[in-house]
Chains A and B, each alone.
Chain A
């Protein structure tokens, strides 16, 4: 799998949201997409997921334009974990995770043996196999997030996009989610996750994209990305012995 963003720009009406992204990604990378609120992280992920159309440039996966692919075909290649994790109706955990196989389902809505295997594997990877018969709305926030992650993993797509997968979770669940995403990347998938926790991004990601005012200003390894210049310019903070501090 290869992902290529070529002069990708997205706008809302006449207002540019993201400008001139030129990036290439190969399999097995775990990319942390960081930037302050409003920098355009969700916009980038939604555009790669095919939910927003670019007004300039292209996004392609394995040489095929994402926005020209039929919806079901695209869904088989790109899994998307949205920021909004509200569930309208109370389904069981297994029913919810099985929605990840929607792009593969026959017209009669039946699941194949492969689908069931993918669902089981996703439940195991996200550590929620034991929750599978419980109702989603009876779970804690952290457990719900793991279930949503399992739903995204069940797609078994080569590219997984996760929009703030650790937001509002306690440290145990944040680490648990990021470990599952890293395991997915190590198994050969590409993972792009927008993250607010810089320490965790540094700890788990193999590559960092820094987005500022709709522009990609840095594309480096975690070791070099979190330098004082970037922290001051993008986040108005600095790193001290006691943690982060506002400038």
Chain B
């Protein structure tokens, strides 16, 4: 039943996303426009702009929500965020590298390569050890290194225009969404989600601690590999098409846990649905706010919503 509610929520958000924007399209005109019927302007907006954008919002949000839930389950720490493994930083480094050299067509492949190299480096550094702590420490180190290299590239940006491109890209946005990006992101996110969902039962057993989980037949190496690959695919593909979008992986699992319970196995798919709905709503909000004249970036908005919410949650948890 809980899945049904969240599926319905995602559906409603998707319909709103197709309808709302600089030019509002009546809900009843959406389906005909999807199949090429109705006013030309509606058909063009729905098919070329809003459908890929909506799918991207759903995929990126789902990937970030599920990654956060899986990482919180693995580390048994509600403060874990997809950023702690360093893939968003390495993906951003790859994308910023492409922007630095003016290779705009290579931003997405470079970001994906960055995420892949980040995952390979993390597994090389910490993949052979059993400890979750070492994996996190290595991830934080990789993130710090990638962030400092990104800063270095910005420091040596060839001109102010390139620097502003980089800064705007890092703020995160779905406004450049297209069908290709949606297909690439969709395929990679689905693969990542499969990897993360496959860790679910083992993450539930890991609630008992690593020793007990191992005594119950859990292979920590297999869980770690699936987790790293799954998070790298979800986060890497999200950053590649939408830039850096934070906080979703941190607070969506919190909300879902509060409403539907703490079972780490169920939390992964539920957080994927919650993240998809939230990011779609946040993207609609950026469009409404940008209609005033100044572009509002998605990454900024999610942080503005997520950070106070997280502080409230942390205070509430501290009091309880």
Chain A positions near chain B (C-beta within 8 angstroms)? 46, 49-51, 71-76, 78-82, 84, 86-91, 95-96, 99-100, 102-103, 105, 109, 151, 155
Contacts and interface: CB of A to CB of B under 8 A. Distances in A.
10 contacts: A51-B211, A82-B212, A88-B76, A91-B262, A91-B263, A99-B205, A99-B216, A102-B218, A109-B200, A151-B208
A99 B204 contact: yes
B36 interface: no
B211 A82 contact: yes
Nearest to B130: A51
B218 A71 contact: yes
B217 A71 contact: yes
Given A89-B262, A89-B263, 13 more contacts: A49-B215, A51-B211, A51-B214, A81-B212, A82-B215, A87-B208, A88-B76, A88-B208, A89-B73, A89-B76, A89-B207, A90-B262, A105-B201
Contact of B207 (A74, A88, A155): A88
A40 to B, nearest CB: 16
- Interface size class on chain B is 20 to 34
Contact of A155 (B204, B208, B211, B216): B216
Interface string B67-95: 00000010010000000000000000000
B262 A102 contact: no
A50 B215 contact: yes
B217 A72 contact: yes
Interface string B233-277: 000000000000000000000000100001111000000000000
Contacts of A109: 200-201, 265
A244 B163 CA distance: 76
B223 to A, nearest CB: 12
A91 B205 CA distance: 11
Given A82-B212, A109-B200, A151-B208, A102 B217 contact: yes
Contacts of B263: 89, 91, 95
B209 interface: yes
Contacts of A91: 204, 207, 262-263
Nearest to B219: A71
B215 A78 contact: yes
Contacts of A105: 201
Q: Which 10 A-B pairs have the closest CB atoms?
A: A88-B76, A75-B217, A80-B215, A89-B262, A72-B217, A103-B217, A102-B216, A88-B207, A109-B201, A71-B217
A89 B204 CA distance: 9
Contacts of A51: 211, 214-215
**Max chain A C-beta neighbours (<10 A), residue from B76, B207, B257:** B207
A80 B265 contact: no
A79 B219 CA distance: 16
A88 B267 CA distance: 14
B258 to A, nearest CB: 11
Contacts of B219: 71
A68 to B, nearest CB: 15
A93 B216 CA distance: 17
Contact of A99 (B208, B211, B214): B208
A50 B212 CA distance: 11
Contacts of B201: 102, 105, 109
Nearest to A83: B211
Nearest to B202: A102
